[in-house]
Each structure stands twice: as structure tokens, then as C-alpha cells.
Structure 1
Amino acid sequence: MVSSLNRRSKKNTDVQATVRRKAGRTIAGALPPRSRIRTPLSSMRGFHPSQPVASASICTGWPICRSSNWVRPSRLFSSFGKTTNRTASSNRQKTTMIARSSTRIARAVVCNQEGYAARIFDGARTEGIITGYTLVRKGTVAALGSSMDLAEALEFSLYARRLRAAWPEFFAAVTATLESPIGISESDAAALRQASDSDALALLLRKLRQRVFLGTLLRDLTGRADLLEVCAAMTRLAEVAISETVAAHHRWLAETHGNPIGAESGSDQTLIVVGMGKLGGGELNASSDVDLVFVYPEAGTTDGSKPLANQEFFERLGRRVIATLNEVTAEGFVFRVDMRLRPYGDAGPLCSSFVALETYLIAQGRTWERYAWLKARALTGEQGEALERLIEPFVFRKYLDYDAYGGLRDVHRQIRGQGRRRDYASNIKLGPGGIREIEFIAQALQLVRGGREPALRPRGTLPALAALAARGLLPSAAVAELGDAYVFLRDVEHRLQYRDDAQTHELPADAESRSALARACGFADGETFVVALGRQRDAVDRHFDALFGDADDEEDDAFAALCRDPVDNALHGTLLEDAGFADPPVLLAQLTRVRNSARYMQLPPASRRRFDALLPQLLRVAGQTGQPQEVFVRLLVLLETISGRSAYLALLVEHPPVLPRLAHLLSASAWAAEYLTRHPILLDELLDSGALLTEPGWQDWRAELATQLAAHDGDPERQIDALRHFQQAQTFRLLVQDLDGRLSIERLADHLSALADIVLEATLKQSWAQLQGKGAPPPKFAIVGYGKLGGKELGYASDLDLVFLYDDLDEAAPQRYARLAQRFNTAVTSMTGAGRLYETDLRLRPDGASGLLVSSLTAFRNYQREHAWTWEHQALTRARFVAGDAAVGAAFEVEREIILRLPRELAKLRTDVMTMRQRMYAAHPNRSKLFDLKHDRGGMVDIEFAVQFLILAHAHAERELTRNVGNIALLGTCAQLGLVPSRLASAAAEAYREYRRLQHQVRLQGAREARVEADAQTPRREAVAALWDAVFGSAWTEGPAEIG
């Protein structure tokens, strides 16, 4: 038993917990005269009418409990989320305003946040992240015959026994209702609103708290309630108590001083009470304190006969609220109130205006405070959404913020010093594998990605785990284990607190108390309970270490020593040669240059430490590839590029398994190295190898992109960047699958073309919405893709040949759609901080670069029939509708088929096509001895021109030729129709396929021209030349020398 409770993780013997010491503070002179005698909380271990009492000041902290040496656990990490927006009344008639103001404040929670905790827990249950223990606990306990009956529950809870002894009728009334969950009705809230003064309100609140706490305690211990119900009941109690207390004291203060009025807006001001921690997350425990922050929108003065500055009004209001909730009377207390998470902590003012809060967060906000505000939730007031907009940029970064790991680890290390002085092994909240570590796991991942993915911002721990699982950021098995452990530990926590209404998380030391706790948790004896508890904590410990292990501890080996002092000596040279590096002096010179560079010298200390820690690791992983020196140089260039962004350095430090994947990727492709260096945000994609190697579904792409854009609704700049991030991420995933040999060239081109279609469609919708406003009828406008996009042969770096068409008779249509096309093209091609979507080429439109940017369908039809050149009809063979209005797109497809099927004079057609081919060759001279896969004779263009000629020559009789199915498939169709011999068509198709493969390989190595050794391609060039001769009836009359 003892050894189990005192276990440590494998990595270290320090306690894995986090505590921020928050000294309590008493606000002197804060209380109005009161007749009721109150008991100081420091001596409170339950209550009884005969218990001696003493007066107390308002306590804004909770420094002691049970005994004078007890140290309050941390309230360090919390979460933040959305609130309900309400419209302020502008009526300032004093009496009416006071009544209306207090009613609005009171109903902020009672009416508009009904069941918040119940909803979030039901969501976690629905997501299936609470398996095993949680869902069957009540049934299992009953089946084992080990749930407590009422007598046993009373025997376990000293608090319940004292309450029964003090108020037997009250106790009986509560126990008579145990078959139904203990709730708070509108009549309860209405009774609170009728309180005539603060003493009456305090009494009503304490009676309400007794009923809810006692009823929930008994339902839980007797197997009628589970964790979800307990947390929902206590959270609801806090919401109602706080909102009604704020409303009442606001009304009473306003009767003397008037209502606070904003100096700038002239509107009424109300106190916003922000619930932090478990209250904000809707997961308050049984005997919890409440962490609160008081804010108000703007400075000003009250409008009464005895005016006060708004700051003073709300400070007085805040002190009275604390007193009503926090002080102990003969009936006990409502909630222990902790105000130490406010700006500047105990040294700061009790209330802050929005301006003061924002100034503090920008100038003074620390890493741990981002965690503290993550769960924050406005419980009162009418400007919750405005507060959320103020807090969101502080909590969530726009980029992937891997620095969050380092901040949490730093706090975690600080606690180890305390862990050496205190034994937290028996603390189920702060000890190894405790509740806090589960919260850390969820919150750290939320902070890393929540800025980019709002769906990852649930306040509660279980909903956050569900969101992370849904996104694939935590394995489903890990989430199931963490969810089970969380519920198990919270159940144990509640039983510890049911014992004596004490805010404790310590497992009892004596055997008798341990056995009683085990029975309350549904176990037959203490031994069985300890084994089950150890299993749950071990699971949490394992997952916590996997995420937060000390990744940045630099191993003091030979590579590390070399990187610290990269001098060119025999020892270093031998080390590098043995590791496979081709030119050690050059590599050492590069390391010296980097360490002496201004960029390196100007790095913040934390970034420099990470940079230094990564260098030896990069040498190791590069040495494991087939070309160590080249790969290390690519890695070093990437490292230098990202060094100014500490989050990227943190990502690599925090996730060592990424480095071998990165080295493998960069060794396979110079283009991949360059692409990743341009878009380092894609490093994040390497974390999940499963998702990285899963072939995409196009409908899934559409749904994912729609979700990402909806998350930034109303922010066009963020949406433009979201489009870029999406396109880059999917391209990168395809690149990795390609380099892993999972995709054929044809399949890859299909995916890249589909990706472009989806991105262009989304960009068009965004552009139209910006021009016309949301809800405008869709434009009668279509985008037509030509070239590689039209033929679905897109490569990684291909530009897009586009033509814009519309079909709208409105007089303003030409100007309207011209603006749309311009905005769309700008959105696609402009370079932002997130990069560029695509390069576009718009010269294939009617009349080329000198023509209108947008054409009506009628103008397009007339141009194609009356004025288009033969090469423009050649281009039309590879054109297709890609985005926009389906009806306009269908009309284009009909017109395309009509144009392609026009009868043509074969002699003129042959001359036009061959002349254009010769011009293209002249425009791409090749003076090297290499073979240009695309432009040289016997290359890809020869095949494409031959196919296009056959389409234009014979489509009037053979409709099948108008299908846009790609050159290889069209060669097969031509053979089936007898237009070319099957043997020639098959050989040319195989040559085309191999040329595309070689072209792809060459481009992946970063080459600008797709050129290869000529001799190896002689058989294929001959096959293509034979096809050319068969189609055109003669060999080239101009161009390169004969093959062979």
C-alpha cells in the first residue's frame, strides 16, 4: 500500500505536479456592518449549531484548511471559451434601471446558461471517450452489492451526520427526494431575488447549498448519481449563487449611488464575473472553491446622487459578493472564493476594466496565465463576447504554438523543488498520474493548436479530450484511458471531500480511513482499491511522460561536443567520416558560419538553447540516410529558416520522432526540402504518420475546408490564410505518400487536380461574399481550367491556365464579374505571410492578353466559332469546367463539344498543328546533350499534338474523342477507332507514361528543366516519332536531328 502510493515515474523521482503558491490576502475594512457572527474558514471542518464562532474579514484567498500547515493546491491552469451575448438596456431612469439591471444580471445564468455543465458532460459521454469504468460504474457497483445504502453513507460522511443532528427536518426533506437529481429551479432563483437584505440572501444561499451538497452527496454515495451529475449540480449551484448575489448587491448599491455609466459609450455597465478553473469548465467538484476574476467594460461614474467612479462601485460590489459567498455563519458558507488569478494577483485591484485587463495581458501576461484563462467563462454581465474577443488573442496564437509545451514544462519543473519538500504521492490531484496531469495533456494541445482550430477550444477536460481525439491529435485508446482515469480520480476526489466537506485531495494515511474510502468507491477492501487506483494513475503517468518528457535534455556525446565547438581537427574529421559525411571540412565550416551568424547571435536565449540541442540530433539522423552531407545541409538550411520562430524549434525539440521522418523526406527530394523550408508550418504534419500516409477522400477535403473557413467566418484575411494552409497541408501529404511509393503518377495528378478544384471553388465563394455580402445569390459565373489542370495532369508546381465565363443578361454583369475575376485572381496569386495558392495564366481567354478578363458565354461562343486559331481549339481539347455555377459550366461543356466536332479541312489543320509544333520547339531550345522530356522531338509535346490533331480531325464523326480523359486513354480510343495502329498507340502511351514519371522525378530533385540522359530514351523517342509519322504522314521537316 505505502509503496504504491509513493511510486515515482521512471524518468525521475520528482513529483509530477504543478502548484503555484498563492498566499491568502485579507481585505481590511471591506465589510459593511453585519449582525450575524461568522466563523473563519481556516477553522472550518464542517459545521454545527454549537460550534464556536468568531468574526472574520473577507478572505480573498484560501490559504489554510484543516490544519495550519496545509498548503492550498494550485489554481494555475484553467480554460477559456465562449459566452452568451446580451443586449444592454439604455433606460437610465433610476428606479426602473436598478430593477431591470439586477434582473438582467440574475438571469444571465439562470435563464441563458441553463445546464452548461450537464451539456458538456453529455457531449463527452456521446463522444464515447468515457468507457469502461464511467459508463458502467453505477451498474457494476450495484451488481457487486457494494454500493452504500443511506445508513452506510451517513456512517461514511461526518458532514452528513452533523447536518442531520443539527436540522433533522431539513435532512429528512432532502433524503425524501433522493430518487431524482438534485436541481435548482426557477422558484429557487426567484426566492433569492426576493431577499430583503444581505443577511437574508446569505441565509437563503447557505440553505440552498446545504440542500444541493447533501442531496448530491447522498445520491452519489448510494449509487444514484455519477460524476457528470455531481459536477453539473455543483457548477449550477455556483452559477446561480454568483449571479443572484451580484444582482442583489448591484441593486442595493445602486439605490445609494446610482448605476455605473460608461464614459465613452454612455451605456449602463455591469460587473462581469469570470469563472475560472473547474467552474469555467463546468466541472466543479463537491467541496471546491471558486476561482473568480471581476471585470467591467469601461471607466466612468455612477448616475446617482452620491456618485462613485465605476472602479470604486465595482470594487465595493465585488467585496460584498465575496463576503456573501465566502463567510462562514452558523449555516456554513456558500463557496470559498479565490481571487488570486486576477491581473497582478493579490497585489492588483479587485476589479479591472477591459482596457486595464487587455493592457495587463499584453504587457505582463505570463505563460501560465494563458492556461489560467483557457477555461474562463463569463457568468454574469452583458458583454461576455466582447470579453472573449479581448482574451482570445492572448490565450490562442494564430500559429501552431509549440512553445506552450515549454511553458508547461517550466512550471512543472518548478514544482519539483516543492515536491522534494512535500510528498505529493498520496495527492490524487497534484501527485504523479493525478488529475492535474490529465488537464495538462488536454490544455497543452489546446494551446498549441487552438488558435488555428477553434473546434479544439472546449473548456471542460472531457470535451477537450473528445475534440482532440476527433482531430486525431491523441490516439483514441489514449483518450479512453485518460477519460476513464479522469472520472475515476474525480470520483475518489469527491469521496474524500464528502467525508467532512473539506477541500482535500490527500488519500488517508490510516488503514481504517482507507478502508472506508475504498467502500465508498465501490471496492470491497483497501487493497483492491489501491491496485485499481495505481492502475489508473500509471496510465496517466505514461501518457503524460509521452507528451511532456524532457525532450530538450542534450545528450553529452561526441556530436554534441562537435556542435558546441565545430573546429576543423582530426578528431572531428574522423567522427564525421565514420558517420558517412563526404566532406567534413566543408560541413564544419558551415556549422562555424551558422554559429557565428548574426541570425544565430540575435536569437533569444531559449531559442538558441533549442537550436543548439537540435544540431547534434540533425547530424545523427542525417548520418542514417544514404547521403548524409547533402541531407544535413538541407536540414541546416531549414533549421536556420525556422530559427526566428521559436514555436517551430519547440516542435522539433518536443517531438524527437519527427526528426528521422524529416531527414528521410529531405533525402528523397530536394524540391520537398525547398517546399518545407518555404512552408515550415507543415512540420506539424509530420507528427501524425497515420494521417500523413492515408490517401485522401475528396469529399472529406471539402468538408474539412468548409469547417476551417467557417471557424474564421467574418475574417477574410484569416480565411485567405486558412485556404493556403489547407492547400499546402494536403499537397504535403500527397508529397509524402508519393515519395513513399504509395501513389502512381496518374493517381497523384488526379488528387492534385481535385485539390485545385476544391480550393478554387472555395476561393470563388469567398471572393463573391466579399464583393456582394453574405447571403447574396450565387454568381452566374464559371471557371474553366485548361492545360494540366483541365487535363487532370497537374503537378506540384504547375500553374493554372484559367478562363472566366458568365451567363447573365443584367447590364451591370460585365463590370460585376470583371471585379469578381480580379478579386478571385488576386486571392489565388497574391503572396501573403502564409504563401501563395497558385500561379495563374489567363492568356488562353478570347483574344489572349489583349482580350477582356471575363467573357460572356455568347461572346465565347462567337469567338470560338469565328475567330479562334487552331491552337486555341487544340487547347480546348484539354479544357473543363472546374468551379462556379454548374449551369454555366454545363453550357461551356456543350459549347466545347460543338467546337471540337466542327468539320475541318485536314490539310490546313495538319499544317497549322505542325507549324505550331515547330514554333514551340524554337521557343524552347535545348543546347545540352540531354534529352528534354517535354519539348524535344520524340517527347511529350509530340504525343500531345498528335492526339489533339486526331481529335480535331475526327471528332465530327467520333464523339468519343471529345471526352477529356487524358492523352493515354485517348490514344487507346484512337486505336480502337482505327485512326492509328494499336501497336503504335500502345508504345506511345507507354512512352508518355514513362516520360511523366521521369519528369516528376527530375522535378522532385529541384531541376528547373525536365532533362535526362538521351541514350536511355532512344526506344521511346523512336516510338513517338513513329506515331508522329503515322498521324501527320511525314517526318518533321524542321527541328532537331534525326534520332540515332
Structure 2
Amino acid sequence: MIDLAAAANPDWAAEAVERLDADALPAGEDARRRLAVLLGSSQAFGDLLASRPQLLEVLDEAEPTAWDAATIRERARTTGRDAGWLLDIQREGLLRVALRDLLGLVDTPQTAEELSDLADGVLGAALDEAVADEAADAAEVAVLAMGKLGGQELNYVSDVDVIFVHRGDTAAAERVARRVMQVAGGHGPGGVCYEVDANLRPEGRNGPLTRTLESYEAYYERWAKTWEFQALLKVRPIAGPPDLGEAFEALVAPRVWPESLGGDAVEEIQAMKRRVERSKPVVRDGERQLKLAPGGLRDIEFAVQLLQLVHGPADPELRARGTLPALSALAHGGYVDDGDANLFDDAYRFLRTVEHRLQLRQLRRTHTIPADDAERQRLARTVGFRDLPVRSAVEAFDRELARVRTGVRRIHQQLFYRPLLATIASWGIDERVADGQLVDGQVAEDRRLDADAVRTRLHALSFDAPGQALRHLEAMLRGSGRTARQLRVVLPAMLEALSDTPDPDAGLAALRSLAESLRDNPRFLRTVRDNPAAARHLARVLGASPRLGEWFGRQPEVLRLFDEPEALARPRTREELHAGAAGLVRRGGGGTSGDALRRYKRREALRAAVRSVTGEADVVTVGQELTWLSEGLLQAALATVLADEDVRLSIIALGRFGAGELSHSSDLDVMFVHEGDTAVAEEAATAVVDLLAQITPEGAAFRIDTGLRPEGRHGPLSRSLDSHLAYYGRWAGDWELLAMTQARPVAGDEALGQAFIDGMRPLVYADPVPTERLVAVRKMKARLESERAGGKAPRPAAQRPRRTPPSRPRSVRSITAQGSGRGGPRTSRDDLKLGPGGLSDVEWTVQLLGLVHGATDPSVRVPGTLPALDALVAAGALTGEEGVWLRSGWTLLSQVRNTLYLVGERETSSLPQSPDRLARLAHAMHYDAIQELTQDVDRARRRIRKVFDRRFFA
């Protein structure tokens, strides 16, 4: 009988024992206990022992020994070459390692070393076999381990990364290398020894499998990328002529450890880190991803490797291959605090133990914690947790895993930043040093050396101007005030967040400015002191949009939103935004000040901007929220200024406002309609504009543009309903009627506003639509593109001039009814709005088709580009594919323009020409590379133009 009490999962052990030959079971009690321990942790070893009962003899060893590489190669030489001969050796070696691990004879790092020795031996045996098969001395081949194998950190189930180097005949060496991969990685009925991966070689799958030293030198000198040198940090010769492997190490060492880590290298490493954290396994599995998710193994490995790469060129002691040896060297050298190093060491051991136990179950490669409670309970018991009266094994496991993850993320930040900040902060303790009074003393010399080290560290953390970043940090940390003390605590987390943003340098400058302007503000201190997550969120926002730092300085109460991430992520509704503005009127007793409305607008617009830069709100959602906010403000302003009940006044939105598609930089295009005393209405309309558009120390709520009204700036600000209808029926230009496709009442007397829309409808959507109107619209679009976008204008048909009133000497403005053509310099064909395939192509196409089909189909009389697109597709005026192309293109280009504004670009009409600025834009839009963004933009514009050419001039 087998005592199953020793098994972590007795049901696994019991099932496996039933399949074993009873006569082959170990006789000794200790051996049977060892069997229960093994089978209770791994179903795969139950299968292995059932198929290879001779391996049960290993359990008779009181302390099973692990085989080193030399032992494995010797056994391989003396074993017959039957099918699966090397796999049998590998499986027994794996069984020995697993027993030692599960019985507690070795710890997890030692287990990883023994697993690596096993793989070394198998690859060495495969090389022996390959050389014997070649039966020639034409070439010598060395096998070099990379990745986890190189670092002697192999899992139970891992790819083994290798590269080959040779001297002599290349064709013969190629045959040897391929045979090594075939023997060590060939599949058989019992499985496979290892998945052998040689893709870390130069040119990957497309490159030769093996190269000479001279060929490697030529490639690394001219073509290699940063990640290739980072991968070589763990390279280790494991088989073949020792001098050849050592020569390869000597060749690559100066490239792995250059005199300094360049800015491009740092950017590539940071980009790799971002890709890892946004990879499919992390997106799919979230925190259950043990390896790649924040707080996982990759955080530890990335932190240690980057510190090695930064400081290793000057300190050879740091050039260790394995994570834990490197971490120990960093601590010994003073680069990492001893306590932090110990915590990181413990976390790494725990996470690797969980990873090993996950893989032991079925000997399958996995890094994902089960979602199912029962499965996680089994894992917890395998790791060593037990059910207790106060909590179950899985509860204890979940709690410990969460604690370790939190610690890993915190220490990850501290490894980068705490030594750096402690050094800077210490300079401010002795003001004589800070003031330069000890210029000839040892302290001043130490500070100079420290400053060099800090700048090196900052450069490695993606700061392009480390000297300026150092000055910002000094300014924030100097002194003993409350703000400086709090910043010393939270800056590690904030700097970590900043280093992974589009513009860390500008973000740090914005943080300094904000800290100085809000030095004694309790809200700022509470945010950075009491809520580390909020502090990190603020840093990410500042690094994505330094412009928002200025807004926070004027509106510090918005910082409280970072304390409530769920509330910040939730979209605003129209009712909420209207109610907020209306509440100001009620509290002000009808005398609401413009400053109160301006503050409300800034607060809500800032909230929308924060959600935009963090990716919590897309351009459509932001446009809706800004539109609803504007409606509420206009309604509140009108309620404040209009006390005469004898006057009915309605505000009509046009352009992007009417479309419900405002951007962060949009004006509000409006016109006023009234019934009653014209003088009173004019005065009220003027007061509304002044109340919201006037610039005061509180800023302006919105730029309000009334230039689309009849006769433009030369006409009255408000007209009666009859006056409007008379003007549009007799004098309006074709472009003015086109603009009315976006008209929508947004504030004031609802019945009057609807009467205006109803009265305009037969004028805008004439049945049939006059041919000359369509020709005029097409001609205007062609002229606009030719004059303002530098494009070759399409050739529209000739049109008969239309009479316009002489009292209106104004240029055609906002022809697209979306704010186009406001003046300014000529733009190029690259203009995202006016150039070929730009936003105006979408908007003109949609509006023209609305005129054409709206006369007979009321369903397409819809303000707004996207709603109108949907209506036109439903009506059959556009195909489904055309609708998708226009929608996705319009959304992307609008998002680009919004993001350009938020990242602080002065020019938002085209993509930046500077590679650095273009890279910041791509990062802010969550692209991994510039090319991905530009390709998406180019594709969108081609598709838009294709639909435009097909539909606009049809």
C-alpha cells in the first residue's frame, strides 16, 4: 500500500498508482513515500512511470542524485542507439531532478541549475552523435546556450535557446548543427527531449544556422540590434571545443558591455518592455500571467538586466549570467539596497517555484495561474500550502501571490529609482554643498561623481536630457518642507511611470511645475502621499500630455479624480453634465458668475482629456462629452442672463458642435434665434457670448464663434425665426445651406429651436435638390482642396453664379460646416483635415449625400458624421465596406489630431516631421512603432479618397 498522506494531491497519486504494476512498486516505506510525493505533484510522472516501470528503481535511492552534463554524455556514449535512447536518458534525468526538488533536497535556483545541466548534457550528447555521423574533421562546431539555459535558469519545460559557431568547412558545420537540433529536438513516440530554438542567431530563421567567428564579428559590427546584444548577456558555451566557445565570448563582450549604454539602446529596451506588458498573454490572462504581467517574473528579470547593462560596463563584477547571481552582485556593489535585494530574491524564488509546479503537472509549458478555484487549490497544495481552520490552502496561496506581486512591482520601482533619489536628496541636506561652497573638498568631488552616475541612470530610464531631469529632481527634493518629504517617498513610483510615457522629460518638467505651483495645496499633497496608484496615474498623464500639467495647476481639485479610478473611467452622461451646469445656476440664485461656469468647464474638459490620454475614452466619447458639457454651459449661461419672459431665445449649434463631435481645441459655432423684443434678445445673446468667451484670470470657457450667422459678423447677433427663414430662402449661399445639415438646437426655448429646424428643412433638403447646388458644393470642395491643401483640384462642371446680398462682404468660411478654412498659412497635401483623403473628404461626402438623399429619405437627415454615415449605409447610399472605411478613417484621423493637441504640438494639421516627435505621438496613441502609425494613417487616407472619388463626383 502507498501512504497517500504524503501526497500534495492524493487523488492524483491514487489514480497514478492504479495504473502502475503492483509488483514493480518499491518495497521500502521511504521509497513509497517518495513515490506518493512525486505522483501527488505531477500527473505526467505517473504516465512516465506507467510506460517506463524500470524508472521506479530511482525511488529506492535515499537521496536521488542529479546527473551533471558529463555523466549524461557518458551514459549516452555507452547506451545503445535504440529508438528514443536519448529521450530515455533525459526522462530519467528529469525524474531525478523532480524528486530532489519535491523532497526538498534542493531549492528552486538549484533545481533550475540541475535542469540546465541536464539540457547541457543532452545537447552535448547530440553534438557527439552529430560529429560521429559526419565522420570528418572538416569543421569544428561549438554550441552556445542563450536565454534561460545560458543563465542556468531552465524550467521543467522550456525551449532551449542555442546558437552555433564553427571553424572550418561551413557546409560540414551546417550539417553538424542541424543534426544536433534533430537529435536533441526530434519528436518520438515518448515525446521530445527539448524544443531547440536557434532563432536568436543573426538574421533569425533567415540567417545561416552557424557562422564563423569572422562572420559573427562582421554582423555584430554592422547589423545587430540592441536586443541581440541584450540576449548575449547570458551566452554560455556548453559543448564543442572550449577555446572556440571562449573566443566567441571574447568577441561579443565589448559589444555586450560597451563604455556606455546609448539612448537608442535604452529606447529599444523600453519599447520591448512595453510590448511585453501589452502582449496577448497578458491581455488574455491578466494577473494570472505569472511571467509577463506587472509584478511577475519579467519585472524582476528586466530590472536586473537593465541595471546590469547600465553599470556593468564600468563594473565587471556585475556581468553575471543568472538573475539571482546578478542581483547579489548589484547588492554587493551598492547599486541595490540589501533589503530590497533580499525581498526581490525571495519573490523570484517564490514565483519560479509556482512556475515549476505549474509545469510539473503535465510537463507542459505554461505560465498561467488557473482561474478555476479547484485547480488553483491543487496548485496551492503542490506549492506547499495546506488547509487550516482559519483559511484554505488556496486562500493562503492567493494572498501570498498578491503580496509577492505587489512587492515585485514596488521593488522594481525602487531598484531603478530609490538609490538615485536618495543620492539627490542627500545633496540638499548640506546646503553648503548645494551652494557650491565645498568646491575643493572631497564631498564636492563625491557629489560630482554621484551626479554622473545619476545622469547615467536617468538616461537608462528613457530621459533624453538627463542633465535637465537631474535639475528638476534636485529642485523638487531640496529642502525639508512637507512637499519635498512627500516627494522623496512617491517619486520612485512616479519616475517609473514617467519612464514608460511618450515624453518623460516634458512630463518630469510638468511635475516639477505642478509641485511648485501647488506646494502647499492639501489636495496635491494628499494625492501624492496617500494613494501611490493615484500618484503613478498622475505621472502617466503628465508624461503623455505635459499640457495637462498647466490645467491641473489651475484646477487642483480635479486631482481627486485620481483617488477614484472607477469613477474616472466611467463616461459622463448628458444628464450629468447638464445637471452640473444647472446646479451652478441654482446655487447662484440666477446670478451665476462666469468664473463659476469657466471653472466647471475646465474641470470637466480636463477630466475628459485625462481619460483620452490614458485610453479610457476614445475620440467619439470625448466628442460627445465635450458637446454635452457645452450644451449645459450654454443653457446655464442663458438662464443667467435672460430674465425677460417676453423674449424667447434658442441657441442653434453648427459645425462640429452641431455634429456632436467637438475636439479639445474646438470653437463653438452657434447662432441665435428669437421671438419677441429684438433689442432684448440681442442684449441677451451678447451677454451669453461674453459670459462664456470672455478671458479672465480663470480663463475662458469656450471660444464662441457666431460667424456662421446670416451676413456673418456684419449681421445682427440674433434674428427672429421669420427673418432667418426669409434670409435662407432668398439670399443664402449654397455653402450656407450645406452648413445647415449640421444645425441642431442645443439651449434655450426648445419649441422655437425645433421650429427653426422644421422651417429650414425644406430649404436644405429641397425636392428635387437643385443641380446647380450640387455643382456649387463640388466646385467649392475642389477650390478648397486646391487652394488650401496644395492638391490638384478635381474638375467640377460649370455652374451659374448665384446672387448674394451685397451687404455680406465675407469670405467663404467653414465650408465643410466643421470649421475648415479659418484662414492661416497654406497647408500641404499631408494635411490630415484638408488634404486628399483627409477628414474633409469624409465630411463633404457625407453631407453631399445627405443633400442628395435627404429630400426623399428623412432617415439620412442626421447631424454628425458618424451617425449620418450609419444612416447612409442603412439607406443604401453607401456600401457597408465604404461605411467602414469612412468611419474608421475619420475616427483615426480625428484621434491623431486630438492627440497632437494633447501632447502639446502647436501644429495639429499634419503628422510631425521630426522622428522624435512622431515617436511621441505613436507612443501616446499606443503604437509600438512609428511605422505602424504611419501605415495606418496612409491606409486610412487611401481608402477615404477612394470612396470620395467614387461618390462625391458621381
TM-score band by shorter chain is 0.3 to 0.5
Report the TM-score, using the length of structure 2 for normalisation: 0.44
Which structure's residues are more often helix, by fraction?
Answer: 2
Report the TM-score, using the length of structure 1 for normalisation: 0.41
For CA contacts below 8 A with separation 6 or more, give which structure has more relative contact order.
1
